[in-house]
Structure 1
């Protein structure tokens, strides 16, 4: 289903449908020295119904002359007699001297000028080079920022073809989605299609220092996928051979000279995964080339990403990227220095460049099908457990993540081969077209012969399992992070594949994928004296609640040498137990008992789930020192033995699991205040501080070492990390330093960090510094207060981009009391929150659920911790 928005509200923000664009001829003149651009756009349109107006989007542009031609040969010129700017809705309305008739074709031409600002929206400037001495420009049009670069119909559904021409200095490189048709340095006899360019160049004393680059027309794409850039770029080049046609296509990655050497890994990933995409989806990459541009200043992580969030995208998003031709993204998304980058950072770069669908084959040792659970699946479920949740077809990053989890469940149910065949049918049918979720469901139906109810309304259920004589009774209810839903919020009945795993008399595991729960309650016959588990392999988008005794048995069976449960099962058991405890469906002690049972687990990803959940509990009770200290004792008992077994040294021959588990265990011990681990990390940083030699700080421990140094140190350590944040040898090291600057217990240094955010930090990086302050219990409330005090400055700084979304989530998402909820809600009550309303609602939901958990479970948690401590005496 689609988002339910009243028609009147839709009319407020959607453009009229009487005129539709089909093609854009866009010419842009870039003047980097003076931070200006200008151009003209010619837009071919078709008229759907009689109209005397033409309405399109524009924002922050100085619009010049406009004209409209119509008629079979476009010979009749209509003067645009009146222009009305609507700055609030970012559109311009042209009233026509003569109405356009339905069925007519026309060409609208509009001249425009703009400033090249550093706000990371539209067409903007960035800086690079060792000391920021290099200037260049690029676009960031997602979701609706193309209107800041040229007048256009800036809505995703209004696809058109684009032919881009860029005019720039000769000593620079021009890039766009498509290959260049021609590139010519201006001479007096140069034939130029646009008269204003010829006129402008003829008056310049340095006319011979300008060039004109024309690019091929794109396939039909949305405006947010149009991309172009200009600057002193260098590139690395590779190619791949299509397994479907045998064609060889060039692949390049562009960056400034100082960092291009760190781009090889991303280029290699692109070369490996493109043929995999073609084979998996049986569709050949349709464009002649695929370039990547790495930028120092970029708001979205990657053009159509997030907060760094890139993974297997929904097929609708996949069709978009398949036709992009030029991917733009930030340094942290694409650059990798092998000598100073952790495996986790390497995974993030690989994920950004390839998405899960490909790199699960490229890097099988990463076990990415199981890793999907903690990285994406449970994040999606956490969002959908909020009352502020929304239908999965809403086009936003949160919904995209939820879609991924839904598709994973569907693929498990129908089988991966048939699922991918259905996706291929869908992609072929809707390439370059608009689509909705129902279209994908129909493609999978065509491949499988099965019918699916595509209206997964919103939220997801919890399945409560009650053991009875001869089997189990299963009931579904909507899961909410604030506890059992009111009847009005619990009306949906989902159709769920139960994926029931049982063990027969010979000890053999049997998987039943055929049983569906499509009613409120159902009895399922089985032998409960033997191991069993619903949601085998944790593919279903729902939680399962067992009795405390059964949960303990599941843990014991999961820890057994020949366990019937997979890695994904064990991750799911741990994560479900905490989610249920947090929401009040189960006790927190039952989740902690389960973790205790799993103390001999060997797999990193299970330990990662344990670590994440323990950190969540500690973070929720952050203002209760007695509870936190006892929890930290528990953490140290679990993780110190792992550090003693694996040590602090990393070798190239180390198995992947050992590397990751070592890093997680050391980080948990440091967070839990273990003196031995803290001392070791401080010693390694002290050596670096005294000698400048960072060889004793393994790349995988850079983040925790920097945080520990600032947390346990003083001004000297903070200054050292600040210098790295300003000028790091790699993006990975710089990211660790940014986050560590907020780790000090000294509020004077916290104030210094905040002032650095306000005056020196790049806009795109402020969230990392803020994240460090939020992670630090000593500065968490300080951050919330400072954001409120400086809200007008943040409003101005991040007007129009994603900044206020991230700052709101970061500044308040760690709070855990009713008072915090009330004060946060009251602060925003008289503010314009329209551009971050969903993030605010979700953040308030988070505060409320954390507060409810603290009130509900403090006594029970304290009792479990005290009893456990007494039992060890």
Structure 2
């Protein structure tokens, strides 16, 4: 939906996929009775409604709930003088639109108030992992369950009847009835707890006591062993942020002091008792970033507490429910005795990201899902850069932002099948699809670009102004630009709207003369030059031009822009210069070949005006331009060769990504794979000898990551000494059952190398680890290992398990490992096709199916593969993953064309080097 100023209920356009706007929820009083033995729950919802327009019906969202009774009480004014009361009303359920409809014998007139009461019951299911669902854990060798919620984007309707749209904020009072030996949690703090006595005055005035007793299987007085927990009333919030949980949780706690009010707020992390000892790092990160967010935006966290739950079965990495973050074990838990760098950074990033949402999304919420980036773009920028850079400056998160987030955004947005950041939602089935790298990484990248252009302090002050203007309300893009403009006096909308509301991004072509450089912008596509209709956008591009004076002093101009098709900039081209200094802007640069090599050579020197982010950007641009046919692939390898003495982890990560992209395209050409692996052994082998296999306790995290990276690459390239070392370590583990001699940071390459060079003993061992892991990271690494075997039987066994037996939230982990295994790719695609109908039914309504589609097919690399994949999906209902399917097809075609175009160039460069390995 196009946005013009702040969106309100009164100016929402009535559309088929939106609820009628004739009523508006004001307050929900929810009572949830949970029985973890039968995995059933019953609910009572008392909803205060305002009548906005005359209507004789009430329409709300509901799905998979058995509505037992319904009643409506209408009031003339306020909430005290009733003029209508209708009990036992019929509720018509439209399953297709996921709506409940109550037809009334009267007309409810605008300005009146209504109380709607609904009683219902449902299963606490284990599949799909949305709504109010169960999560499993092992206690004394038995499988036990607890229950958590996962409502984003439109699954609150699976747990209570509601108006399930972000614009329709309301306050909530949640009451939970549960077994005495369990813990109940919700968004707010506990108001009171007491034994539950049926038929006594309780929330909802005992109206649903008979309903609640159904779960106990007895009379209305059968309430032994139950207790009631009532939570305080919440501020206004959207349905997808409501949360509750019930289980045998343990917790650790801390607190922080608000720098704004001085108020002390409790912080807790919950998990099952067997895992709670791994929650300390997430708690420490929470304590570190909470006051920093308050200071940065000059807005105090408004809730009385912040809890986090680590759940074993969860459909998202984590979800930012206000006051009750819930996430996967591998996203929130960390082995305190032997933490690995990968998991350390994952936990820190996930928790910081979700805490950012307490401001971006929870205090101020996007008005509709078309501006999801107002939540996710800011949370990504804050979580992956701004806040973690303050807490862990040694982690060099700015380099991470360029190496990881920026390049993820570039990769997706370079496809013809990309879409604008602010994307029209024409079908609710699109909602899962827009949680992609455009809403997260591209949005973060262009916001970061704006921050550099304006200056970070000014940018953040403008963002604070935006948040304050929409406290406890909803916002749209124009509100954000208005807030920043009010601080800067700059017409931010004119600059930023093309980046947010148009598809794609530019490449700037540089033509040099002795007097300066001519710059021409045009849309970049990984498949080559865009058609005329695809190349209509003129972006205002902050150039961030670095020049070097005659005395060698660098200067960066962050305010100069290219806001027309082409322009000429005067400068001395006999001296070094570089566009996009620090890789802070969202565009690629096509230099003359000689200039690119000159910049790279200077950037590789010990003393240089160029940063690690510059080197990452040069590699990334060169690879993308080669893929698109705008430069030679051999030039990409020239840059890798120039940077082979690099010391920074994230530059090495980009070198690895570059070589991986080449292998990913030529993986079926064994002669080229062998030559690339020789090159890899030559550059990574010496690094392994330099870094060794053991780390020290106080070693910087980036050195640990670098060691893991180079050992992994050397092993993947069959460096004999590295393969021998890792397989010996795994063999010792097989013999003793003790893995303490395998450093935590080497578990992943050890498992994968043992699998690649192993057989049934290694397979069975990795299967045992995956099924009963000591830590969440071991489970993930073992699953990747199970996908790395080279024998057909082992590969088929893993694929079959992934498709039919793996937990829903683990399937994607299996697919990633299998996709990375060249021996498994074609069988994975074939098996997925064979099992498609079964898998699609199992994953209906979740985020997961689209990621499986991508992982199963994105490894393919010929025009025949493209045609076959397109034909396979032609008669399938792809409405829930159409965007990602089209992106996957684009990726296959791009690789096919790159392969045809550049094979001889690539082979010639590799053959000319006469590598020793």
TM-score range, shorter chain: over 0.9
Distance (whole Å) between structure 2 residues aligned to residue 36 and residue 579 of structure 1 = 52
Tell me which of 889, 894, 898 is aligned to 1:844.
Answer: 889
Q: Give 1:316's aligned residue.
A: none
Unmatched tracts of structure 2, length 5 or more: 5-10, 353-382, 424-433
Q: Give 1:312's aligned residue.
A: none
C-alpha change, 1:431 and 1:362, in structure 2 (3 Å) is: same
Matched, 1:365 2:394: yes
Distance (whole Å) between structure 2 residues aligned to residue 132 and residue 741 of structure 1 = 25
Given that 2:646 and 2:652 are in contact with CA atoms closer than 8 Å, whether structure 1 keeps it comes out as: yes
Tell me which of 73, 93, 100 is aligned to 1:85.
Answer: 93
Matched, 1:98 2:106: yes
Tell me which of 617, 620, 629 is aligned to 1:584.
Answer: 629
Q: Give 2:817's aligned residue.
A: 772
C-alpha change, 1:657 and 1:233, in structure 2 (3 Å) is: closer
Distance (whole Å) between structure 1 residues aligned to residue 443 and residue 168 of structure 2 = 23
Shift of 1:208: 2.6
Q: Give 1:385's aligned residue.
A: 414
Distance (whole Å) between structure 2 residues aligned to residue 8 and residue 622 of structure 1 = 51
Q: Give 2:62's aligned residue.
A: 58
Q: Residue 635 of structure 2: SS of its match in structure 1?
A: helix
Which stretch of the first structure deviates more once superposed, 731-740 or 448-457? 448-457
Shift of 1:689: 0.8
Given that 2:73 and 2:114 are in contact with CA atoms closer than 8 Å, whether structure 1 keeps it comes out as: yes
Distance (whole Å) between structure 2 residues aligned to residue 702 and residue 821 of structure 1 = 36
Q: Give 1:671's aligned residue.
A: 716
Distance (whole Å) between structure 1 residues aligned to residue 207 and residue 112 of structure 2 = 28
1:501-580 map, 5 Å? 501-580=546-625
Q: Give 1:162's aligned residue.
A: 172
Q: Give 1:209's aligned residue.
A: 225
Q: Give 1:612's aligned residue.
A: 657
Shift of 1:31: 1.4
C-alpha change, 1:87 and 1:198, in structure 2 (3 Å) is: closer
Distance (whole Å) between structure 2 residues aligned to residue 3 and residue 244 of structure 1 = 34
Tell me which of 128, 132, 138 is aligned to 2:137.
Answer: 128
Given that 2:119 and 2:208 are in contact with CA atoms closer than 8 Å, whether structure 1 keeps it comes out as: no
Q: Give 1:41's aligned residue.
A: 45
Distance (whole Å) between structure 1 residues aligned to residue 442 and residue 792 of structure 2 = 38
Q: Residue 302 of structure 2: SS of its match in structure 1?
A: coil
Deviations 1:462-520 (A, max 9, x none): 01111123000111000111111111100000001101000000000011122110000
Shift of 1:760: 3.6
Matched, 1:433 2:473: yes
1:805-824 map, 5 Å? 805-824=850-869
Matched, 1:336 2:331: no
1:271-670 map, 5 Å? 271-304=287-320, 324-354=322-352, 355-356=383-384, 357-394=386-423, 396-398=435-437, 399-452=439-492, 453=494, 454-455=496-497, 456=499, 457-670=502-715
Q: Give 1:313's aligned residue.
A: none
Q: Residue 307 of structure 2: SS of its match in structure 1?
A: strand
Structure 1 runs (4+) deviating above 6 angstroms are 7-10
C-alpha change, 1:700 and 1:853, in structure 2 (3 Å) is: same
- TM-score by length of structure 1 reads 0.95
Distance (whole Å) between structure 1 residues aligned to residue 796 and residue 415 of structure 2 = 33
Given that 1:472 and 1:526 are in contact with CA atoms closer than 8 Å, whether structure 2 keeps it comes out as: yes
Deviations 1:406-437 (A, max 9, x none): 11100010001001101111111112211112
Q: Give 2:879's aligned residue.
A: 834
Tell me which of 846, 853, 862 is aligned to 1:801.
Answer: 846
Given that 2:514 and 2:574 are in contact with CA atoms closer than 8 Å, whether structure 1 keeps it comes out as: no
Deviations 1:388-414 (A, max 9, x none): 211112363332321111111000100
Q: Give 1:309's aligned residue.
A: none
Shift of 1:816: 1.1
Q: Residue 474 of structure 2: SS of its match in structure 1?
A: coil
Deviations 1:823-860 (A, max 9, x none): 11111111111111111111111111111211111121
Deviations 1:249-304 (A, max 9, x none): 00011110000000011011101110111111111111000000110000011015
Deviations 1:687-723 (A, max 9, x none): 1111112122111110011001011010110110010
Shift of 1:196: 4.1
Q: Give 2:258's aligned residue.
A: 242
Q: Residue 207 of structure 1: SS of its match in structure 2?
A: coil
Deviations 1:810-829 (A, max 9, x none): 11111111111111111111
Given that 2:314 and 2:327 are in contact with CA atoms closer than 8 Å, whether structure 1 keeps it comes out as: yes
C-alpha change, 1:9 and 1:612, in structure 2 (3 Å) is: farther
Matched, 1:230 2:230: no
Distance (whole Å) between structure 1 residues aligned to residue 765 and residue 880 of structure 2 = 37
Shift of 1:52: 1.7
Given that 1:341 and 1:733 are in contact with CA atoms closer than 8 Å, whether structure 2 keeps it comes out as: no
Matched, 1:172 2:194: no
The RMSD of aligned alpha carbons is: 1.9
Distance (whole Å) between structure 2 residues aligned to residue 208 and residue 708 of structure 1 = 55
Distance (whole Å) between structure 1 residues aligned to residue 436 and residue 3 of structure 2 = 15
Shift of 1:438: 2.0
Shift of 1:197: 4.4
Distance (whole Å) between structure 2 residues aligned to residue 343 and residue 409 of structure 1 = 28
C-alpha change, 1:135 and 1:825, in structure 2 (3 Å) is: same
Deviations 1:761-788 (A, max 9, x none): 2211111111111110000111111111
Q: Residue 129 of structure 1: SS of its match in structure 2?
A: strand
Distance (whole Å) between structure 2 residues aligned to residue 443 and residue 158 of structure 1 = 23
Given that 1:373 and 1:571 are in contact with CA atoms closer than 8 Å, whether structure 2 keeps it comes out as: yes
Given that 1:123 and 1:148 are in contact with CA atoms closer than 8 Å, whether structure 2 keeps it comes out as: yes
Deviations 1:725-759 (A, max 9, x none): 00010001111001110101111111211232244
Matched, 1:258 2:274: yes
Q: Residue 540 of structure 1: SS of its match in structure 2?
A: coil
Distance (whole Å) between structure 2 residues aligned to residue 869 and residue 439 of structure 1 = 59
Distance (whole Å) between structure 1 residues aligned to residue 632 and residue 718 of structure 2 = 26
Which stretch of the first structure deviates more once superposed, 721-730 or 562-571? 562-571
Which stretch of the first structure deviates more once superposed, 377-386 or 125-134? 125-134
C-alpha change, 1:333 and 1:393, in structure 2 (3 Å) is: same
Q: Give 2:426's aligned residue.
A: none
Q: Residue 533 of structure 2: SS of its match in structure 1?
A: helix
Distance (whole Å) between structure 1 residues aligned to residue 665 and residue 629 of structure 2 = 14
Given that 2:197 and 2:221 are in contact with CA atoms closer than 8 Å, whether structure 1 keeps it comes out as: no
Q: Residue 686 of structure 2: SS of its match in structure 1?
A: helix
Matched, 1:695 2:740: yes
C-alpha change, 1:448 and 1:188, in structure 2 (3 Å) is: closer
- TM-score by length of structure 2 reads 0.91
Deviations 1:314-337 (A, max 9, x none): xxxxxxx6xx01001110110100
Shift of 1:84: 2.6
C-alpha change, 1:74 and 1:868, in structure 2 (3 Å) is: farther
Which stretch of the first structure deviates more once superposed, 390-399 or 290-299? 390-399
Matched, 1:17 2:17: no
Distance (whole Å) between structure 1 residues aligned to residue 94 and residue 412 of structure 2 = 35
Distance (whole Å) between structure 2 residues aligned to residue 188 and residue 228 of structure 1 = 22
C-alpha change, 1:132 and 1:740, in structure 2 (3 Å) is: farther
Distance (whole Å) between structure 2 residues aligned to residue 132 and residue 564 of structure 1 = 61
